Amino acid sequence: MTGGTQRTPVDVAVGVLIDAQGRFLLTSRPEGKVYAGYWEFPGGKLEPGETVEEALRRELHEELGITIVHAHPWKVEMMDYPHARVRLHFCKVHEWHGDFEMRERQSMAWQCLPVEVVPVLPGTVPVLQWFAFERGFAGATHRG
């Protein structure tokens, strides 16, 4: 979905939370947001002066009620959506504190490949492909 539009990209910190079993966390986009109901990795926009890790720490606390220990920068992907061009800064997160609270009335689901939840946000698909490559997974990473 990358394209040649000239819009200024919005930087977004994205948390790829991985539990001890190797599952990863997906959350649904809440009602009232673009792509409501689509499943994605949680995160949000960087505010002026914030680093990716600072933004991710703030966003995951605001959205999920958890405090991450450390964000490990992983990959950066540019996505062009009809409403915005976004630069997604994906970070792996293996440790966090606190209980999950869905503070934006979203849903959460721990997933493995292939992902069971639908629909999956387009910006999530490359991450599923990276996981498939890393884990030696062959086949469709998601439905739809």
CATH no. for residue 97? 3.90.79.10
CA 94-60-36 angle, 5° bins: 115
Question: What are the start-end ranges of the H helices in 50-120?
Answer: 52-64
Report the pLDDT value the prediction gives residue 83, as an integer from 0 to 100: 85
Query: Is residue 116 one of the residues assigned to a domain?
Result: no
Q: In the chain, how many domains are there?
A: 1
Interval 125-140 mean pLDDT: 95
Residue 108 CB neighbours (<10 A): 18
pLDDT in tens, 89-129: 999 999 999 999 999 999 999 999 999 999 999 989 999 99
> Is 2 inside any structural domain?
no
**Range of the structural domain that residue 63 is part of:** 10-111
* 5 domain residue, yes or no: no
The predicted structure's pLDDT at residue 82: 85
- Under 8 Å CB-to-CB from 82, ≥6 apart: which residues? none
Amino acid identity, position 80: D
Q: Is residue 4 part of a domain?
A: no
**Could you report the per-residue pLDDT of 24-81, keeping only the tens digit for each?**
999 999 999 889 999 999 999 999 999 999 999 999 999 999 999 999 999 999 999 8
Can you tell me whether residue 3 is helix, strand or coil?
coil
- For residue 144, the model assigns a pLDDT of 78
> What does pTM read for this prediction?
0.91
